[in-house]
Chains A and B, each alone.
Chain A
Amino acid sequence: MNNEEELSDEEIKSFRDRKYSLNGNLEDRIVERLKREELIQKKSTYSRLLMAAAITGVLILAFATGYFYGQIQTEKQHVFDYVMLLHQTKNFDNTGTSDERFQEYADWMHKIKSSGVAITGEKLSDSTQLIAKNVIVGDENSEDNRVSGFFMLQAKSLSDVISIAENSPHVKYGGVVEIRKIVNQ
């Protein structure tokens, strides 16, 4: 020991090497107290993530359900702007089977729809009933000019509809597409 009463290296080492141990559950008790005082989260990160994922999943499901429901509702309530009447004359190319031709028109319509244009359509039967006041004209099945089907679609302008019609199978096979704007009341 020196004049300054300093602790010797051995004494200092003995202090620093001395290890105390406390109650094994001190850590848990402190955690519980911090939770009670809301100084740490009560739920574990995992359970919070799980809850967040569950809530997100429910929201996505709700959105998807609402979205698809809305889509269905939209299609049902859709207001179309134009009609395309498909005229066939005697020059119309009728090669191929009816099913093949129908499928081609259907595929074309679905392609238009997938581009974001609301469109629907139907093939019309070959027989026609013409009704006039006090006159029953009867069946009309002229090959000179008959309407074989129609499409209804939503478009911002006539030029858009013309562009669609020009690329339709009906024009390709020599038919005439009559475009009429629907007057929405």
Chain B
Amino acid sequence: MTDKEIVDSFLQTRSEKSFRILYRSQTPGLISTAVRLCGGSKFQAEDLIQEMWCIAIRKLDTFQWRSQLRTWLIRILINLAKEQYRENSKWQETENVAVDIHDRTSVEVKLDLEQALITLPLGYRKVIILHDVEGFKHHEIAEMLGISEGTSKSQLFHARKLLRAKLNNTRYEQ
């Protein structure tokens, strides 16, 4: 089934079964994004995903398919992450949040990169996640974040610089 067929089926019945189909079609691809937006905290990522689905289900009948469903859901995740960031002081970006030990792998590059990513300031983190990890274009990122394309490109430039500095354990100043 296509995403639209799954959504239409859910909107017709609003059944638990059709929701679970919708949930399973989208959530696995959103988990990593949610964890990274939450600075590596799986606990907070679970809350984020739960809130995302509550908002999405409330507004699903107004979704007009101008973008992909996944794009729309990520946008909700990002807005929620921004709200949580504003409300929660422990989300200060300068703190290093340890990656769950069970996620450690033998690939050193992967671990360092991931840890460096999740310690970036939220604004930089979002752009790198959306562009380099999720593959969105700057005009899409601009629309999702409510910024200009130029700002998106600029943010990405600085985000990469800072990421590289963290990896190299060097300082980066804008």
Contacts and interface: CB of A to CB of B under 8 A. Distances in A.
A27 B20 contact: yes
B113 A29 contact: no
Contacts of A30: 23, 49-50, 53-54
Nearest to A17: B110
Given A15-B113, A18-B32, A39 B58 contact: yes
A56 B152 CA distance: 59
Interface of B: 13-20, 23-24, 27, 31-32, 35, 42, 45-46, 49-50, 53-54, 57-58, 103, 107, 109-110, 113-114, 117, 128, 132-133, 157, 160-161, 163-164
Contact of B57 (A17, A21, A40): A40
B31 A14 contact: no
Contact size range, A: 20 to 34
Contacts, number: 96
A15 B157 contact: no
Interface in A37-56: 37, 39-41, 44-45
Nearest to A7: B132
A17 B109 CA distance: 13
A19 interface: yes
A136 interface: no
Nearest to A46: B17
Residue among A6, A20, A41 with the highest chain B CB neighbour number at 10 A: A20
A37 B54 CA distance: 9
Nearest to A42: B16
A144 interface: no
A26 B133 contact: no
A136 B82 CA distance: 113
